[in-house]
Amino acid sequence: MELDYFLLISWFIGTSIISISILIICKPKEIQLNLEQVGKMFKDYWIHIFVGIVAIFSKFLIDKIDRILMSKEQLDMTEIIFSIEGKTVLVFQETIRNNFLDFILTHFYIIGLMTTTFCTFAFPLYFNDRKMANRVSISIISSYLLAIPFFLFFNVRVTGEYITEMETIAYDLSPEINNWFQTIDTFSNGMPSLHVALPLSALLTLRRANKEEWHKFQYFLIIMISLTIFSILYLGIHWILDILAGFIIARISVIISERTNENFWSYVYSKLSPNKNIIN
């Protein structure tokens, strides 16, 4: 079965509309929204963008390695997670299950992740807040790097696949969506939840800075993280412990960012752009 490109385009359009709307709502008062600022963003922050793109595409390599390890070593730790929390997520799904939530939350799961990840990474760049761009980008990338050992050596399957009575609603809503997930997901990278860790690491970074111009965007992240947690539990994707692990990963990534971002960006810019002010 081929990928449904109309569906992919629809998700991309939805992500773009929501992202632009949030940009308008959450922008600092002194910022003017225009295409010239987009060009300036690519010119001034091309290194951040490059690092982000490398991190995204490295996910495909990690998934490929994970499939090889799973087929040879059977590094399935799901039973450990199940022994701790049992069928709590099943009770949650069955209690509020209805067709409307199936449809809405499946598409939110996909569009919400793309929107939140894009906004948390791109907004500091677009708003030309170099201090926050440096810190947020390191927080997000650190969250991903900290998750890699778990993805490779502590495989945890999605709840709807492991618990017999539970459904993987997001994956099975339609054949087209299922085919898309089969292409991009190993179904064994539950621990930790990056759906939680990535935006939460950005939120914690912004809160530590306590800059007034970022308060609206923090509210947006709080809403998105809350809806995401609700969605991934309902849709039969993550365990509660996956989410708690996402919180821990986010907290550690913020500490790493605080202690390393200045030295990291100083080194990077000294090699690639020696005249650039990397702090302000």
d(CA 17, CA 254): 29
Task: Dump pLDDT digits (tens) for 84-129.
Answer: 999 999 999 999 999 999 989 988 888 888 888 888 888 888 888 8
The reply to whether 26 falls in a domain is no
Kindly state the average pLDDT of the residues 243-267: 91
**In this structure, what is the dihedral angle of CA atoms 6, 10, 15, 17, given to the nearest 10 degrees?**
130
The reply to whether 164 falls in a domain is yes
For residue 105, the enclosing domain spans 5-12+43-272
The reply to whether 100 falls in a domain is yes
What is the domain count for the chain?
Answer: 1
Task: Dump pLDDT digits (tens) for 40-79.
Answer: 888 888 888 887 788 777 777 777 776 666 655 567 788 9
Kindly state the average pLDDT of the residues 22-34: 79
| CATH code of the domain covering residue 60 | 1.20.144
Task: Dump pLDDT digits (tens) for 71-95.
Answer: 555 677 889 999 999 999 999 999 9
Q: What is the residue-wise DSSP string for 227-266? A: HHHHHHHHTT---HHHHHHHHHHHHHHHHHHHHHHHHHHH
The reply to whether 17 falls in a domain is no
∠ at Cα 127 (123, 133), nearest 5°? 60
The reply to whether 205 falls in a domain is yes
The reply to whether 19 falls in a domain is no
The reply to whether 230 falls in a domain is yes
